[in-house]
Chain A
């Protein structure tokens, strides 16, 4: 690639290359965590939509009216997190971001479990990133 510098600054990542790589459970229309591919798969209008762990900020849960709400927060500009340099797509300043997605379910245990798995996966990703940085220094 000609823009060697830009490529280096913005780290490319990809959840899946082909839809055949999806776990078979996507057919259940549920939120899935796939640590093997560093991704969560969210059911949006009948379609499994992957999001890479590098785009995720965190996951939280709350309970109301018999439902457990799972909120997935993504990294996006203007959050004052300061880490956005790692993520922002330099190629396009007009890009829109998905900032959060909230799902509800009656299955409290599974929602809590998903939250924990996301947190775990995020921790592992940050740790890996740090190790890489240390190696480079």
Chain B
């Protein structure tokens, strides 16, 4: 085994699919007629596998490249990808199942690269910090998180580099419906809830 390749893979919500190649030195992704995005194995810190929108997603956490998302794998690709990561890159490909309960409450967890919203200890979704443009206290117990959005469709922030994919902070521009803002209710933690006086104002 010297190289494995996978067709119809989307990089970081890219509009166009490309070919993803795994080799001993690292990973490459190339859309038809575009330049190649590469990720050196030395840059990788961990990897995870889960169901996403286009198929199954290989998500790589990297020191320089940040959160690299590759969507569109088939379920049976897992064994191959898992083997590549183990043998070549020395990383376990962790399978993560996401919460599908449909609840809007849980716990936000600040990781190294992203904010994870957990529902019953299962992640419901993750937001890489690179995609957050602003946060503010919108009210009592309310935090608003705003997302980086490109000013227009053509603004990928890459000048044709990255082979048609988007620069970090512009990922959402690839989606048809783009998330612009998310608001959280954060219960008062310190003084006020010390005695657990059930509700606030009722």
Contacts and interface: CB of A to CB of B under 8 A. Distances in A.
Contacts of B156: none
Contact of A99 (B176, B184, B201): B184
24 contacts: A14-B102, A15-B101, A15-B102, A17-B100, A26-B53, A29-B13, A29-B174, A29-B177, A43-B175, A44-B125, A45-B131, A45-B172, A46-B71, A49-B98, A51-B103, A76-B185, A78-B141, A78-B201, A97-B184, A98-B184, A99-B142, A103-B179, A104-B149, A104-B177
Given A89-B105, A101-B182, A103-B178, A45 B57 contact: no
Interface string A69-98: 110001111101010000001001111111
Interface stretch (B25-33, B35-43, B85-93, B186-194): B186-194
A105 interface: yes
Contacts of B149: 104
A49 B125 contact: yes
Interface of B: 10, 12-13, 51-55, 57, 69, 71, 98, 100-108, 117, 124-128, 131, 140-142, 149, 171-172, 174-187, 189, 193, 196, 198-202
Interface residues of A, number: 52
Given A47-B52, A77-B200, A89-B103, 5 more contacts: A28-B53, A39-B102, A45-B131, A77-B199, A95-B107
A101 B179 contact: yes
B109 to A, nearest CB: 10
4 smallest CB-CB distances across A and B, nearest first, come from A15-B102, A52-B102, A97-B185, A16-B100
Given A47-B53, A47-B125, A96 B105 contact: yes
Contacts of B102: 13-16, 39, 50-52, 55
Q: Is the interface of A mostly helix, strand, loop or mixed?
A: mixed
B13 A96 contact: no
B59 to A, nearest CB: 9
